Structure 1
Amino acid sequence: MIKVVKAPAKINLTLDVVGKRGDGYHEVEMIMTTVDLADRIQLSLIKEDQINIEVNIGHVPNDKHNLAYQAAKVLKDRYSITSGVSINIDKHIPVSAGLAGGSTDAAAVLRGLNEMWSLGLSLEELAEIGLTIGSDVPFCVHGGTAIAKGRGETLTFIPTPPPCWIVLAKPSLGVSTKDIYQRLDLNKMKHPDTQGMKEAIETGDFSGICKKLENVMETATFELAPEVKNIKQRLIQFGAEGTVMSGSGPTVFSLTSSETKAYRLYNGLKGFMDDVFVVRLLGSRYQI
């Protein structure tokens, strides 16, 4: 039995850090949505009691360090599954980009194996399991657009933003999320208007959405990686209606209502960086 599952990337329209938790994690509030840049996960059931991982990119782990492996493992262990699975990951989402590439792969495995192993779990139950793997996995299990609080696991779903084009640009460098968090000064940061973004989305106010794009991690990431700031400035100079960094970076994205402008932004960046994409919003949540 073989099943192919789509694993889309997410972007942060807003990202706020509101405090430090007792468990060492930070308390966040953010609005996330899924976009049509996706990995392709092929699941094949096997008789052997093992989990095999194949990835089309050499520097992505193909063992227990891969979140897709961990997703299969937690389901096998929790529900005493004695058969195994081979997981083939065809990656299109850049690695370590602030786009939840590993988390969305794990979420796709949870959804796919839930069906293939006839577990009958709801998306809420899968999201709860996903939180044991990573903070972004619960959102990726559901898809759509949501306000996320806590570690990112407390989700309130809202309508999808109006249709638009999104240009994603990831420089070749990597950034450490841990280093970014250590540089945050909760007392000095300018906090996003999460409620204002929610209202702009609910009323379909594209201009309002563009104006409310905000990420408190930008300042710290720009200090560690000035190239990320340069990309944002280039996109603004090229005429993007709204531009912000996703997650802890280093990917920067721009929103535009014009396909022509989207490809003008794309062409303006493609000459000096490899990972540039023009995509659309995905919209609807998954259903079981």
Structure 2
Amino acid sequence: MLSAESEASLLYSAKHVLPARAKLNLSLSVLGRRADGYHDLQSVMVTLALTDEVRILTAQFDHSTQRDEIADGSQKSTRAALDSMTGFDADAERSFSGEATALDWRVSTNQPTIPDNQDNIAWKAALAFCRAVGISPAAMIFSVDIVKNIPQEAGLGGGSANAAAVLRYLYRMWHRVGANAFGIDPHHLTHTVLEKAACTTGADVPFCLRGGIAFCEGVGERMTPLTLRSSYPVLLAIPPLAVKTADAYKRLHRARHESDVRLQPQQARFSNREALIEAWQDAFNKDALTAIAPLVNNDFVDVTVRQNPAMIRLFTALQDTGAPIVSLSGSGPACYALFEEREACRTAKLRLQKLFPNVRFINTTLSPEEDVLNLS
């Protein structure tokens, strides 16, 4: 007969296919560099209907492999672990990640250019989850295949979306059976704690965890939800251009230093953040792209687009489609155009594919509904 612990472990094993939605930046303002090396941002982000597939092949807890120092007084150690998670903590993350060298885990993708296993952000998300609930990573068996549809390193948050999907799944399963296997109160793992775990994984992961549409601040961890009724058609344009985020920030700092820019235009137009958030929600309430367009901006357009002749041509061609909104997502290189009508979006794709055969064009839509962290 199975022991209670073994039974819980078997119940936790399941095969699930999870959608992981891409994100789009409707605005992105870089306010300055923080003492920890990260940047303070203000950004309105929205999820897209474009998704990766995160296929959970195995996710099991095995209480018998839990380390003694964590197993003893698990309630107390779990509470301490949760309380300690206040945001990015590189030293703690490196220390905890040291346990990852001999785990019975596997993370793989269908793209050879994306790292597998411990170098994949989905693996890092599972590690952050273990740290959040106060268990040893060795107490979990974890196997995931990721089918990539979101272009990588394009500013669309594909890796962050994968990490968020893993966190949502583990959260649900922890509340269903995992916490009981360790004698831990599952209610200690709240939505807030999960968002802190997301924050330790990557800057865009907290937003991807929640999804929908939100005004994001800090490094992306502080979110004010917004509402948008329409799922506007989107044309994504991904050129064969590598844009490293760190290099993009360096170019932005250099450009600002050379022009002595201290305050970006969008911040200069509004007296405070509350006024800016209100302006965004008022624009969304009008349910017209022409109302939203004046608020759309991305500081990286100056360095990713306007310093590259090929990007200028692509960006100009998108504007020439007549789309009410054309901008850049993240630090690029993905550009996008928002349309009122699907047919206009499809027509633009067909025309631009002929003009730019080396650019990948994708028709999708905004997907402004939040991901609900239910336990079913």
Measured against the shorter chain, the TM-score band is over 0.9
* DSSP-derived class of the 2:118 partner: coil
Which protein is bigger by CA-based radius of gyration?
2
Deviations 1:144-174, CA, capped at 9 Å, x for gaps? 0000001111000010252311101110111
Is 1:219 the counterpart of 2:232? The answer is: no
**In the alignment, what sits opposite 1:285?**
370
Q: Deviations over 1:155-199 (max 9, x none)?
A: 000102523111011101111111111122152743366443332
User: Match for residue 6 of structure 2?
Assistant: none
What is the Cα deviation at residue 140 of structure 1? 0.4
Matched, 1:39 2:52: yes
What amino acid does structure 2 have at the position aligned with 1:109? V
Query: What is residue 243 of structure 2 aligned with on the other side?
Result: 175
Segments of 5+ residues of structure 2 without an aligned counterpart are 1-13, 63-102, 180-185, 270-275
Partner secondary structure for residue 132 of structure 1: helix
TM alignment of 1:36-115, pairs within 5 A: 36-45=49-58, 50-79=104-133, 80=135, 82-115=139-172
- Residue 75 of structure 1 deviates from its aligned partner by 2.0
Match of 1:190 among 253, 265, 268: 265
The superposition leaves residues 122-158 of structure 1 with CA deviations (integer Å, 9 ceiling, x where unpaired) of: 4332211011011100000000000000111100001
Secondary structure of the 1:191 match is: helix
Q: Work out the CA distance in 2 between the residues paired with 1:157 and 1:46.
A: 31
The equivalent residue for 1:238 is 321
Residue 17 of structure 1 is aligned with which of 30, 40, 57?
30
Greater Cα offset, 205-214 or 58-67 = 205-214
1:91-113 alpha-carbon deviations (Å, 9 max, x no partner): 00000000011111000000012
Residue aligning to 1:266: 349
Counterparts of 1:140 and 1:89 in 2: how far apart (Å)? 16
Q: Distance in 2 between matches of 1:155 and 1:130?
A: 13
The Cα of 1:34 is off from its aligned counterpart by 0.3
**AA of the residue aligned to 1:89:** I
User: Residue deviations 1:232-274, cap 9 Å, x none?
Assistant: 1101112212100000000001100111110111112223135
SS in 2 for 1:41: strand
Residues 32, 147 of structure 1: 8 Å contact kept: yes
Aligned residue in 1 for 2:212: 144
Residues 110, 190 of structure 1: CA spacing in aligned structure 2 closer, same or farther, 3 A cutoff?
same
Letter in 1 for 2:52: D
> Residues 206 and 226 (structure 1 numbering): CA distance in 2 closer, same or farther, change over 3 Å?
same
**Do 1:11 and 1:99's aligned partners in 2 also have CA atoms closer than 8 Å?**
yes
Higher helix share: 2
**C-alpha deviation, 1:76, in angstroms:** 3.2
Amino acid paired to 2:124: Q
Root mean square deviation, CA, Å? 2.0
State the one-letter code of the partner of 2:113: H
- When the two structures are superposed, what TM-score results if normalisation uses the length of structure 1? 0.93
Code of the residue aligned with 1:231 in structure 2: it is L
Aligned partner of 1:131 in structure 2 is 199
The reply on whether 1:28 has 2:111 as its aligned counterpart is no
2:266/2:295 contact within 8 Å kept: no
The answer for the alignment partner of 1:275 in structure 2 is 360
